[in-house]
Amino acid sequence: MTPYQDRHDLGRVTEGARLHLPDIAGTRRLLRLTAVAEARSHGSAARTSESRAWITAPWADRPYASRSRRSARRTRRGGCR
């Protein structure tokens, strides 16, 4: 269970929050780290399939025509409600 049960709680807690973006050196470190992680993932079939499972839509293995009307509507609207 999460400590914030709805958007109102989360919004109240995050008011005034700041987003800190890395400088050029920090960005380069993050990109190097990402490249290393991608190389590890591509080197292992199990890691590759796990990574793809995280970014692949549930209906991606079926052609567009076989999707239900409801899921197609959700896709056009930009996600679930």
Q: What is the mean pLDDT of residues 1-27?
A: 75
- Please enumerate in sequence order all residues whose Cβ is within 8 A of that of 4, keeping only pairs 6 or more positions apart, or say none: 10, 13
Q: How many domains does the chain have?
A: 1
Q: What is the pLDDT of residue 26?
A: 94
Tokens representing 20 are 């800190």
- The structure's pTM equals 0.40
The pLDDT score that the predictor gives to residue 81 is: 47
Backbone angles phi, psi at 42, to 5 degrees: -70, -20
pLDDT confidence bin for 56, thresholds 50/70/90: low
Better-scored residue on pLDDT, 25 or 53 = 25
Instruction: Indicate whether 13 belongs to any domain.
Output: no
Residue 32 within any structural domain of the chain: yes
The residue segments making up the domain with residue 25 are 20-77
What span, in angstroms and rounded, lies between the C-alpha atoms of 47 and 27?
A: 25
